[in-house]
Amino acid sequence: MGKRENAAIWCKISLVAHRQYGHITRIQLFALGAERGAITSWIRAGRLIRVHAGVYAVGVRRHDWPARAAAAVLACGDGAALSHGSAASLWGLTARWSEPLEVTAPRERRRPGIVTHRAATLGPRDTRVHLGIQVTSPARALLDIAPRTAIRGLTRALNDARHEGRIHTASLNDLLDRNPRHPGTPRLLSIFDPARNPTRSGLEDDFLAFAARYGLPTPIVNAPLNGVIVDVLFPEQRLIVELDGWEFHSDRQTFEADRERDAAALATGHATVRITWARLEADPAGEAARLGRILSDRSRPS
């Protein structure tokens, strides 16, 4: 193969690698017309850098997480997808990436530095292309990490994903229906209530658990009322509970806006109780007893 032909092939290689975070597979090299001798020469010259078996970085090896994820998926062959904790990280469902990266493939794969999973049930509805990488859907990623994730963290990740529109009720129900024996299914079912609005903070999660623990009526979270969204609403008692954290209510403008909302709600017959995390943490039984009395009083006929 002449130098001119090699140069033309190298141009094609660069274009393919550009779409794959600077990586290309040996199979792709052959498909582009590269010969074994040329590949060996490029490896010796440092133009191709081995990342995984059959996967090379072109020119420079990248170490950012998306590039490493792309290389891991390529290493696991056709039909492979970034999955489990790595998929959750790519979607932003969890705060940090961690090693080793995880990939699910339809066939058994063993790759050093990669945790591989085999899933015959992984279908087209369970995968996406996100940031140029084949990856399991946000819902599937949560299902896969559910068995090893604390309920509080799993609840927060699910609700954040629902708020951001990454997970929809219909698609999550479909996923759970199709995977009744998956070990993550019972854990997701324990925290997923399609009839309930998703919470927006860990404090709201804590309040729902607090209400259930002390036998308070089940409220509506993030309920629309008077043109605004209130944190918690007990509709029968016409009682609003606003869950306040100092970091969100520490300036004059927010302070005044909160009081204006309280007055507007009271004008429509809705009282407001403001509860802080510190009070829930310090004396949950006392806070529950007081809130229970308020709810009881507002349940009585006037």
**Concatenated DSSP letters of 153-192:** HHHHHHHHHHHTTSS-HHHHHHHHHH-TTSTTHHHHHHH-
13-29 in b/e burial notation, b at 16+ Cβ within 10 A?
A: beebbeebbbbbbbebb
Of 58, 85, 101, the domain-final residue: 58
CB-CB neighbours of 135 under 10 Å: 28
pLDDT of residue 121: 67
Long-range (24+ apart) CB contacts under 8 A made by 209-218 are 210/280, 210/284, 210/287, 210/288, 213/284, 213/288, 214/284, 214/285, 214/288, 214/292, 215/292, 216/288, 216/291, 216/292, 216/295, 217/295
- pLDDT per residue as tens digits for the range 79-95: 999 999 999 999 999 88
Task: For residue 63, give the DSSP letter.
Answer: -
Looking at the structure of the chain, the number of domains it has is: 3
pLDDT of residue 46: 95
What average pLDDT does the structure give for the chain? Answer: 91
Residue 25 amino acid letter: T
Whether residue 8 has pLDDT greater than 70: yes
Task: For residue 99, give the DSSP letter.
Answer: S
Indicate if 70 and 187 belong to the same structural domain: yes
Beta bridge partners of 239: 234, 271
pLDDT of residue 107: 81
Of 193, 217, 234, the domain-final residue: 193
Q: Give the residue among 3, 7, 43 at the shortest CA–CA distance from 26.
A: 43
117, 104 in Cβ contact below 8 A? yes
Predicted TM-score (pTM) of the model is 0.83
Whether residue 55 has pLDDT greater than 60: yes
pLDDT band at 276 (very low <50, low <70, confident <90, very high): confident
Indicate if 51 and 75 belong to the same structural domain: no
Indicate if 140 and 249 belong to the same structural domain: no
Indicate if 181 and 105 belong to the same structural domain: yes
Across 276-287, average pLDDT: 91
Indicate if 46 and 128 belong to the same structural domain: no
Q: Which of 68-77, 124-133, 240-249 has the lowest mean pLDDT?
A: 240-249
Tell me what percent of the chain is helix, strand and coil, each rounded to the nearest 5: 50, 20, 30
Of 13, 30, 58, the domain-final residue: 58
CB-CB neighbours of 69 under 10 Å: 25
List, edge to edge, every strand of the sheet that includes 48-52.
23-25, 55-58, 48-52
Indicate if 7 and 24 belong to the same structural domain: yes
Indicate if 41 and 120 belong to the same structural domain: no
Full domain range(s) for residue 162 = 63-193
- pLDDT per residue as tens digits for the range 79-138: 999 999 999 999 999 888 999 999 999 887 788 889 999 886 678 899 999 999 999 999
Rounded Cα distance, 100 and 48, in Å: 23
pLDDT of residue 299: 87
Across 10-30, average pLDDT: 95
Q: For the chain, what percent of residues have pLDDT higher than 70?
A: 95
pLDDT of residue 95: 83
Indicate if 185 and 208 belong to the same structural domain: no
Across 144-161, average pLDDT: 94
pLDDT band at 260 (very low <50, low <70, confident <90, very high): confident
Indicate if 80 and 183 belong to the same structural domain: yes
Indicate if 188 and 74 belong to the same structural domain: yes
pLDDT of residue 27: 96
Indicate if 85 and 185 belong to the same structural domain: yes
Indicate if 149 and 40 belong to the same structural domain: no
